[in-house]
Amino acid sequence: MKYNEDELLKEVHDYISQTYRGHYSVGNVQTLDLIDSVGDAEAFCRSNVLKYASRYDRKGTARKDIIKIIHYGLLLLHFNDKTAAHNELQSGSTSFTVDYDK
């Protein structure tokens, strides 16, 4: 790829993988699972995207901030899709698809 996206995606993947081995989970339950259980996962992820974007490179950690923005952006995408699928089911439709061309 022209801008080394494949290598950058691998770096993001490796970062995300190490977070699952980190201190933020107890057993198979992460704090984000608890936040999701009370319906606040989308807001939490969106807020973290804003947090890391607003502090970008203020602590000399620009690269790490960007990776965290991407991670929380992916989580936000997951919870957005989960909410959209739930809303589709509630409305009686069972054909949830994501149109990435919009």
Contacts of residue 72, defined as CB under 8 A and 6 or more positions apart, other chains included, come to: 45, 46, 48, 49, 52
Residues 42, 65, 14, 26, CA torsion sign: negative
41-63 pLDDT, tens per residue?
A: 999 999 999 999 999 999 889 99
Q: What is the dihedral of CA 36, 42, 44, 48, to 10 degrees?
A: 140
pLDDT above 80 (res 25)? no
In terms of DSSP H, where are the helices of the chain? 5-20, 31-37, 41-54, 62-90
- The larger pLDDT score, comparing residue 26 to residue 62, is at 62
pLDDT above 90 (res 30)? no
Q: Look at residue 23 in the predicted model and tell me its pLDDT.
A: 61
Number of neighbouring beta carbons within 10 Å of residue 54: 9
pTM for this one?
0.82
Q: Tokens 């936040």, residue? A: 35
pLDDT confidence of 11, banded at 50, 70, 90?
A: very high
Of 6-15, 17-26, 65-74, give the lowest mean pLDDT range.
Answer: 17-26
Q: Look at residue 37 in the predicted model and tell me its pLDDT.
A: 96
Nearest to residue 15, comparing CAs of 74, 58, 55?
74
The pLDDT of 13-35, averaged and rounded, is 84
